[in-house]
Amino acid sequence: MNFLKWSCFLVFFSFKGLLATSPDFDVLDTSHRINGSLMNEATGKKRAEVLDLLWGLYRNDKLISHGIMVNPKGYLLSKASSSMGARYAMSYSGKYLPIRIRKRDEKTDLALWQITDSSKLWPFAEWHNDLNKTKIGNWAISGNKDLSGLTFGVISAKSRSIGREGGVMGVILEESNSSTKGIKVLEVLPHAAGDRGGLKVMDRIIRVDGRTVRTTEQIYEIVKKKDPGDLLTLSIQRRKKESLLRITLGHREVAFDMFNRNLLMSGPVSKRKDNFPMILQHDLPLFKEMMGGGIFDLNGYCIGINIARIDRVTSYALPTPVVLPVLNQWIKELP
């Protein structure tokens, strides 16, 4: 026992001494990091080829999403709910060109844009359409925020569908089975939909979308049929006075996970994060403004479209087998 204690003691001080003589021992050289020079060198000429396909979409001089060139006629694919209102696109080489929207698909949250002021034939993405070859642990790359270089990560979970989340008010209601005075609001989460719409603690909800409610379950049944962004009208009683409120429903994760430590550290995330037919999950360090851009394998083939930033270590991409049927149908319909 004494021998074991002394062995541990000596190992500890030997390691401590090593750290003392090597102050950078625990710091990875920047060239070896996922955005370091060695990683960029590993992609060789594919780096420039990938960046040449990626564009930033701007509204009022502000980046709102990324996009990827998918057709030589200047068609750009992006995330619909992020790119709405875009006025121009900028390439990694600094070209600013006007764009207009041509198609939008609610199911996948994809939008097709077109460069309107150019007769040039553009380089466009080549696709890897075999989802079985996109496995957990595979390297993946995408453009960084200003498209000055690439960012790296790995596929971090099995591909799967993401179900519908449904909209929420972000409130806690009393449990009641037969109230004749309305359903009392017990708590309103800060910055959630109910708070923004004017609901307050001790308000009583009398009607929802014009329907009288006497039980808590009736309210839940009405709300769960709606999506984030849908409007809900509430007739409430506050201090014996009746008022009408309009609530734009929010996302469950935003409302109830706002106190989650990981989310607090993550910064802004995508508003639409659910109801996708199939996703690839990866850990590339992306911002929400980078959704809509392509995600590639190390050979430069596009394996999907980044569609939702979930938190600081999780993003979703729509895989190629989901993207191509929508895109190909659009291309057929356009001149």
Q: What global pTM score does this model have?
A: 0.76
92 and 237 housed in the same domain: no
* 1, part of any domain: no
pLDDT of residue 253: 64
DSSP string computed for 89-149: EEETT--EEEEEEEEEETTTTEEEEEE-S--PPPP---B---GGG--TT-EEEEE-TTSSS
pLDDT of residue 59: 97
Cβ atoms of residues 125 and 67 within 8 Å: no
pLDDT of residue 264: 62
53 and 133 housed in the same domain: yes
pLDDT of residue 224: 86
240 and 223 housed in the same domain: yes
DSSP string computed for 178-235: S-SS-EEEEEE-TTSHHHHHT--TT-EEEEETTEE--SHHHHHHHHHTS-TT-EEEEE
75 and 152 housed in the same domain: yes
65 and 157 housed in the same domain: yes
Neighbouring CB atoms inside 10 A of 88's CB total 18
158 and 306 housed in the same domain: yes
pLDDT of residue 284: 96
pLDDT of residue 10: 35
**Which residues span the domain enclosing 191?**
167-253
pLDDT along the chain (335 residues), means of 10: 40 40 56 65 82 97 98 97 96 93 97 90 93 87 94 94 88 87 93 93 96 94 88 94 94 62 72 91 96 95 96 94 97 92
Residue 223's CATH number = 2.30.42.10
Tokens encoding 251:
């996302």
Q: Which of 189, 223, 253 is the last residue of a domain?
A: 253
311 and 223 housed in the same domain: no
* 220, part of any domain: yes
Neighbouring CB atoms inside 10 A of 329's CB total 12
198 and 299 housed in the same domain: no
Sign of CA dihedral 213, 216, 218, 221: positive
55 and 81 housed in the same domain: yes
Q: Which of 187, 220, 253 is the last residue of a domain?
A: 253
Give the count of domains, the chain. 2
- The CA distance from 308 to 90, in Å, is 21
179 and 301 housed in the same domain: no
83 and 140 housed in the same domain: yes
